């Protein structure tokens, strides 16, 4: 059988009559190979991690440098976002020697919540429990604790518990002494709300939970109080 792509007068006549399809023009082999290589390179660095881009940098041509740099910056931004999102998640223990590094130089945009406590003080133990819950809920915030006198020599026990809130080395808020926290009735939601007011965490609570408790308390007090009519009847009796 005659090859339909063969250059013959008969095939040309058949093509003109529409009996044979138009002759396929062969592609330049070098051009086709280059296109395939470029597609392969693009697919490769699109799928590479930041480390892989660094390792294979010498294998790419000069024409790919701009695209590779774009993907490198993209991967770097993704990595930074992931690091910022879930950096912490636990309550770290520090001493006075760690203060500057862990608190003052925590990093750009990092909120630090530091609890000064002492063993044997029930409210300090309660706040440490609450801090553990909040650290898991807000892993982008750095939660720390330190034995008071280890962190600040001669720090008075009457000021415990104490919470300091920092941003980029600057103190933004402080809570000092048991009265500020409301004693052993302190709920984790109340502590979360207080920290959210400083900017250290972004809470999903819609209103101050302490206000709800106070409103309930006032409502129960009003319900238990005798009405004016009941009072007058009691006096007549």
| Residues 165, 129 contacting (CB under 8 angstroms) | no
Which of 96, 123, 122 has the alpha carbon at shortest distance from 114? Answer: 96
pLDDT tens, the chain, 237 aa long:
556 666 676 667 667 766 667 766 655 555 666 655 555 444 455 566 656 666 666 555 555 567 667 777 777 777 666 655 557 999 999 999 999 999 999 988 899 999 999 999 999 999 999 999 999 999 999 999 999 999 999 999 999 999 999 999 999 999 999 999 999 999 999 999 999 999 999 999 988 887 655 555 445 445 555 555 555 555 555
Within-domain flag for 50:
no
**Domain count of the chain?**
1
Within-domain flag for 76:
no
Within-domain flag for 141:
yes
Within-domain flag for 147:
yes
Within-domain flag for 53:
no
Q: Which range marks the domain in which residue 136 is found?
A: 90-217
CATH classification of the domain holding 209: 3.40.30.10
Within-domain flag for 162:
yes
């Amino acid at each position: 059988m005659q090859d339909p792509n063969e250059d013959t007068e008969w095939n040309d006549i058949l093509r003109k009559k529409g009996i044979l399809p138009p002759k396929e023009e062969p592609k330049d082999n070098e051009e086709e190979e280059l296109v395939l290589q470029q597609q392969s390179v693009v697919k490769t660095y699109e799928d590479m991690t930041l480390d892989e881009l660094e390792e294979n940098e010498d294998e790419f041509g000069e024409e790919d440098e701009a695209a590779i740099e774009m993907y490198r910056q993209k991967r770097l931004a993704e990595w930074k976002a992931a690091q910022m999102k879930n950096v912490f998640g636990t309550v770290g223990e520090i001493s006075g020697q760690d203060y500057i590094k862990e608190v003052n130089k925590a990093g750009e945009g990092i909120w630090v919540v530091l609890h000064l406590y002492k063993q044997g003080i029930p409210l300090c133990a309660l706040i440490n429990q609450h801090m553990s819950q909040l650290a898991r809920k807000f892993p982008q915030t750095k939660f720390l604790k330190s034995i008071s006198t280890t962190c600040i020599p001669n720090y008075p026990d009457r000021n415990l518990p104490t919470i300091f809130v920092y941003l980029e080395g600057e103190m933004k808020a402080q809570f000092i002494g048991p009265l500020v926290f409301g004693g052993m009735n302190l709920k984790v939601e109340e502590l979360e709300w207080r920290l959210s007011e400083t900017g250290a965490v972004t809470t999903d609570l819609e209103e101050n939970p302490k206000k709800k408790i106070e409103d309930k308390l006032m409502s129960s007090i009003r319900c238990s109080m005798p009405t004016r009519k009941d009072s007058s009847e009691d006096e007549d009796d």
